[in-house]
């Protein structure tokens, strides 16, 4: 399978550094473009988390953190945050950002033409609260502990076996803790064999939706408190953008 290696590629690294740390003008240079879709990795925290529910000294976990922007944002509300991603490349760069606060990269303008950029962790972030590690969200290390908030942004439809990841969640989220799960439900065989899709197919002549499966799987341990739509935009080059709408759900561990 070639697609899973996308997250180890130069192109993915450049796109995700821009997506996570780029200025609005760099991510969407067209004034008539979908500007409400900008700043998604920060919005996954600011628009989804209920800070009033978090204890002092909260622990946070960002599964499928890519180059880490949401992980850093979580650290504004948690004294310790772990970001985990399967991509060695992403984690290497996220660690560099944690240690040094910035990194240089190039993003595509057209063909081989690129523009130089610097990804900078916002100055108000206490970077020492954050650690990054390479790992598989479907087989997490057993001594990870439990968390007051777990974020899974646009992860489930990129996993070979999302059900394995969902199974681990009751043990990962503390009683009263929050699980924030967003997904654009882009189910593709190249990432997830059809037999493991959470939605996007028919069963006994009826459509199966991702949200319904999430409810069926999570309901025994979690109460669904919010469902809403979150637009996001990933720039491929100056004239091509992926505009998507993630379905965001917020769950409380019971
Ligand atoms: C669509 S990206 C979303 C990244 C980030 N959460 C965001 O919203 O920008 C999917 C991420 O999941 C990661 N990933 C894929 N399979 C994984 C796995 N088995 N365990 C952990 N992360 C995984 C990829 O490397 C990639 O960073």
Express each pLDDT in 177-197 by its tens digit.
999 999 999 999 999 999 999
Q: Which ligand 1 atom is the nearest neighbour of the CA of 84?
A: 21
Q: Which ligand 1 atom is the nearest neighbour of the CA of 152?
A: 6
Determine the longest span between alpha carbons in the chain, in angstroms: 54
Q: Which of 44, 82, 85 to mutate to test the pocket of ligand 1 (most atoms within 8 A of CB)?
A: 85
Find where tokens 């925290």 sit: 45
Quote the percentage of the chain above a pLDDT of 90: 98
Report DSSP state, residue 219.
T
Can you tell me the distance from the alpha carbon of 80 to that of 251, in angstroms, rounded to the nearest whole number? Answer: 21
Report DSSP state, residue 232.
E
Strands 173-183 and 102-110 come out as: unpaired
In sequence order, which residues have a C-beta less than 8 Å from that of residue 133 and are 6 or more positions away?
82, 83, 84, 91
Distance 205 CA to ligand 1 centre (A): 32
Centroid of chain to Cα 202? 27
CA-nearest residue for atom 11, ligand 1, is 64
Question: Which amino acids bring their CB within 6 angstroms of ligand 1?
Answer: 7, 19, 41, 64-66, 84-87, 90, 136-138, 153-155, 158-159
Q: Which of 154, 158, 244 to mutate to test the pocket of ligand 1 (most atoms within 8 A of CB)?
A: 158
Q: How confident is the model at residue 5 (pLDDT cuts 50, 70, 90)?
A: confident
Condensed to tens digits (0 to 9), the pLDDT of residues 95-137 reads 999 999 999 999 999 999 999 999 999 999 999 999 999 999 9
Q: How confident is the model at residue 2 (pLDDT cuts 50, 70, 90)?
A: very low
Closest CA to 232 of 10, 8, 66, 54: 66
Distance 38 CA to ligand 1 centre (A): 19
Main-chain phi, psi angles of 111, to 5 degrees: 55, -120
Sign of the C-alpha dihedral computed for residues 154, 159, 161 and 167 taken in this order: negative
Calculate the CA dihedral of residues 4, 9, 13, 15 and round it to 10 degrees. -80
Distance 204 CA to ligand 1 centre (A): 32
Can you tell me the distance from the alpha carbon of 28 to that of 47, in angstroms, rounded to the nearest whole number? Answer: 21
Q: Which ligand 1 atom is the nearest neighbour of the CA of 232?
A: 8
CA-nearest residue for atom 25, ligand 1, is 87
In sequence order, which residues have a C-beta less than 8 Å from that of residue 90 and are 6 or more positions away?
7, 12, 13, 16, 65, 66, 67, 68
Distance 155 CA to ligand 1 centre (A): 5
Q: Which two tokens stand for residue 2?
A: 């070639």
Sign of the C-alpha dihedral computed for residues 181, 187, 192 and 193 taken in this order: positive
CA-nearest residue for atom 8, ligand 1, is 153
Condensed to tens digits (0 to 9), the pLDDT of residues 46-105 reads 999 999 999 999 999 999 999 999 999 999 999 999 999 999 999 999 999 999 999 999
Q: Which of 45, 64, 245 to mutate to test the pocket of ligand 1 (most atoms within 8 A of CB)?
A: 64
Closest CA to 145 of 71, 220, 81: 81
Distance 84 CA to ligand 1 centre (A): 9
pTM (2 decimals)?
0.97
Beta bridge partners of 150: 61, 179
């Amino acid at each position: 399978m070639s697609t899973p290696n996308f997250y180890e590629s130069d192109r993915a690294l450049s796109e995700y550094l821009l997506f996570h740390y780029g200025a609005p003008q760099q991510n969407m240079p067209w004034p008539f473009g979908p500007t409400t879709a900008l700043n998604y990795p920060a919005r996954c925290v600011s628009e989804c988390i209920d800070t009033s529910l978090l204890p002092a000294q909260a622990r946070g976990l960002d599964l499928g953190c890519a180059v880490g922007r949401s992980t850093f944002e979580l650290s504004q509300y948690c004294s310790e945050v772990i970001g985990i991603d399967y991509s060695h490349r992403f984690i290497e760069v996220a660690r560099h950002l944690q240690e040094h606060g910035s990194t240089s990269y190039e993003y595509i303008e057209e063909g081989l033409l690129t523009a130089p950029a610097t990804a900078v962790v916002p100055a108000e972030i206490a970077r020492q609260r954050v650690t990054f590690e390479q790992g598989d969200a479907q087989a997490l290390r057993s001594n990870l502990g439990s968390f007051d908030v777990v974020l899974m942004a646009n992860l489930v439809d990129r996993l070979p076996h999302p059900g394995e990841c969902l199974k681990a969640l009751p043990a990962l989220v503390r009683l009263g803790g929050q699980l924030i799960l967003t997904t654009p439900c882009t189910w593709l065989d190249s990432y997830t064999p059809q037999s493991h899709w959470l939605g996007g197919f028919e069963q006994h002549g009826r459509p199966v939706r991702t949200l319904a499966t999430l409810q069926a799987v999570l309901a025994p341990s979690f109460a669904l408190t919010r469902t809403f739509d979150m637009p996001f935009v990933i720039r491929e080059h100056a004239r091509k953008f992926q505009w998507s709408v993630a379905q965001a759900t917020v769950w409380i561990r019971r």
